[in-house]
Amino acid sequence: MIRFERAGLAYDGSEPVLHDVELSIGEGELCLVVGATGTGKSTLLGAINGLVPHFTGGTLTGRVTVAGRDTAHHPPREYADLVGVVGQDPVAGFVTDTVEEELAYGMEQLALDPAVMRTRVEETLDLLGLAGLRHRGLHELSGGQQQRVAIAAALTTHPRVLVLDEPTSALDPTGAEDVLAAIVRLVHDLGITVVLAEHRLERVLQYADRLLHLPGDGTVHDGDPATLMAAATVAPPVVHLGRLAGWTPLPLSVRDARRHGSGLRTRLPEQPRTPHHDSHATTAPVLTAEDVIVRHGPVVAVRGASLTLHAGEVVALMGRNGSGKSSLLWALQGTGRRDGGRIRVRGTDPKTVTAAAARRLCGLVPQTATDLLYLDTVAAELAQADRDAGRATAGRARAILDAVAPGIADDHHPRDLSAGQQLALVLAVQLTADPGVLLLDEPTRGLDYHAKDGLRHTVAALAATGTAVIVATHDVEFATTIADRVVVMAEGEIVADGPAPAVLTASPSFAPQIAKILAPLPYLTLDQVRAAWTPAS
C-alpha cells in the first residue's frame, strides 16, 4: 500500500531527517510510529501524502508511493481520495462549522454526487458514533468528540490509508479510549491502513500490528511490536514489567500481562516495601483554599473547591476535560477569576497583591506555555526573566534553566525549541521568581518519555527544597511517578482527594498500568515491584 524506496528527506542546510528509508506497509495494518521529539515522526507521516516536501519544503530523495502514486509527481490534494490525514489539534483543521458539513467538505472538493455524499455522511456518522451530534457546532464539542469528527471527516472520501499524528495527546483518558476504539474498529471492519504516531505508548501499543521506531539518526527500525519492544529504550510500564518478570512473548496489553501475572502476584508481598516515590511532603501548610467558586458567565467552572497544600508536597490534579482543573489553578494563582471563597498562600491572598508579588507566592505555567515567550532569543528571555523577578544580578534564570534542561544555547529562537525545551524555558522564567507554590497546567502535553523524565526530576528537586507543586494532568503514568496526593475533579467539584496509592487504585480509568496488572495488590510503579521482587528459585 505505502512504499518508501530509499527515501530520504533533508530540510535546507541541515542534516537529513530521514535517510535511505526502505519501508513497505501493507493493506489493513495498524502501524505505530514511535520516537523522541525531533526524530522525524511528523516528517515520515507527512511524506505519505506529499505534504512533505510539497507543503513544508525540503528535498526528497528516493521514492514514496501510495497505491502506486508517486508523491514526487502529485501534490497532496491529489491524495485526498487515497490518504486521510488527522492532525494533533483537530480544531486547527476544521474548515466548516457544523459536524455534518465538516464530514461533507472533502467529498465536495472531490465533486462527488450529492446522493453519494448523503449516504456516506450517514454511514460515517454511525461508524464513529456521531449521529447524535450531527447538527452541533464543531466548537461546542469536547476534545474527544472533535477528534472523532476529524477522523470521520477524513474517512468520508473513502481513503485506503489513514494517517494520524498524535491523535490523543490533548485528550483525557476516556476521550482517548473512545478515539482509539474508533481507530481499531476501522482497521478491523474496513481494513484501512492506519499509520499512527504517539508518544504515550501505554495507550496504543497493544493495538499495533507493527512498530516503526525512529531512533533519531535518520533510520527507521521496523518490526513486530513485541520483538522491537524487548530492546527498545522507550517502553510503557507493562513492557518493563514483562521484561523484569521475563515473560515471553512480551505482553503489550494489561490483559496479556494479567494472564501472565497470577504467578507474580502470589510471589509479591501483600504490601510494597517502598513508597511509590520519594516523598518530601511536610505538614506545614503553604496554601489553603476554602470553597473556591469560579464562574464563566452562566457556566460554573469551579463549584466550591477546598484544598490544603503542604510544603514539599506534589499533588496531581486529575479529571476529564472541562472539569474545572485549569480554572482552579488560575484562581489559586490569583490572576484568574474567583467569584467566591478564600485563598491564602503563606497567609496572603494572592488576589489582593500586585502581579509581581503574586508570582512570588504562586508561579503558574499555563497550558499553552509559549504564550509567555515573546523575545527573539533564549538569552533575551532569560535576561528579561531576571529583570521581571527584580534581581540585581543576572544569571539566576540561566542557572535554573541549566538545571532543568542542560544544553539549550543562548542564541536559539524560543519558538524553534522542542516542546520539552520550551516547557523548560518557561519553567525557568517562572522559577526565577522563587515561588513557594508551583502550579503546572497540563505540562506533559506533547512531551516524549525523555522530556517527561526531565520534568519529573525537576518537580522532585523543587519538592525537596520545600516548594509545593500542583500538576494538572491527564497522564496517569506521569502522575503516578511524581504525586504524593491525587485530587480528582468532576463538574467543578473535588470528588476525591487522598494519598496517590489510594485514589489511583480506586478508579479503573485513573489507574496506572502496573496497578491494573497487579490488582488487588497496591503496587503503582515498577520500582516498587523491583524492590519487592524475589525471583523464583
CB 458 to other proteins: min, Å: 18
Q: Is the Cβ–Cβ distance between 397 and 385 less than 8 Å? A: yes
CB 9 to other proteins: min, Å: 16
CA distance 512 to 430: 30
Closer residue to other proteins, CB minimum distance, 106 or 242 = 106
Q: Indicate the SS3 state at residue 446.
A: coil
Q: Indicate the SS3 state at residue 91.
A: helix
Closer residue to other proteins, CB minimum distance, 356 or 464 = 356
CA distance 534 to 269: 10
Q: Is the Cβ–Cβ distance between 355 and 435 less than 8 Å? A: no
Closer residue to other proteins, CB minimum distance, 254 or 385 = 385
CB 108 to other proteins: min, Å: 5
Gyration radius of the chain over CA positions: 24
Closer residue to other proteins, CB minimum distance, 72 or 372 = 372
Antiparallel, parallel or unpaired: β 161-165 and 210-214? unpaired
Closer residue to other proteins, CB minimum distance, 75 or 223 = 75
Q: Hey, what's the cell of 234?
A: 522507550
CA distance 161 to 141: 26
CA distance 336 to 82: 46
Closer residue to other proteins, CB minimum distance, 337 or 346 = 337
Listed in order, strand segments (DSSP E) in 171-313 are 193-197, 210-214, 221-223, 285-296, 299-310
Closer residue to other proteins, CB minimum distance, 9 or 517 = 9
Cβ burial 104-132 (10 Å sphere, 16+ → b, else e): bebbeeeebeeeebeebbeebbebbebee
Closest to 183 measured CA to CA, from 1, 3, 28: 28
Identify residue 352 by its one-letter amino acid code: T
Q: Is the Cβ–Cβ distance between 48 and 193 less than 8 Å? A: no
Closer residue to other proteins, CB minimum distance, 56 or 465 = 56
Closer residue to other proteins, CB minimum distance, 422 or 480 = 422
- Give the number of C-alpha atoms closer than 13 A to the C-alpha of residue 419, restricted to the C-beta side: 18
CB 89 to other proteins: min, Å: 7
Closer residue to other proteins, CB minimum distance, 87 or 173 = 87
CB 183 to other proteins: min, Å: 18
CB 36 to other proteins: min, Å: 22
CA distance 154 to 170: 19
Where do we find the cell 478491523?
Answer: 188
- State phi, psi for 150 to the nearest 5 degrees: -60, -40
Closest to 195 measured CA to CA, from 145, 160, 241: 160
Residues near other proteins, by CB under 8 A: 49, 51, 54-55, 75-81, 83-85, 87, 89, 92-97, 100-101, 104-114, 117-118, 121, 135-136, 140, 153-154, 157, 330, 333, 335-336, 354-356, 358-359, 363-364, 366, 368, 370-374, 385, 388, 415, 429-430, 433
CB 425 to other proteins: min, Å: 12
Helical (H) or strand (E) element with 229: helix 225-229
CB 120 to other proteins: min, Å: 10
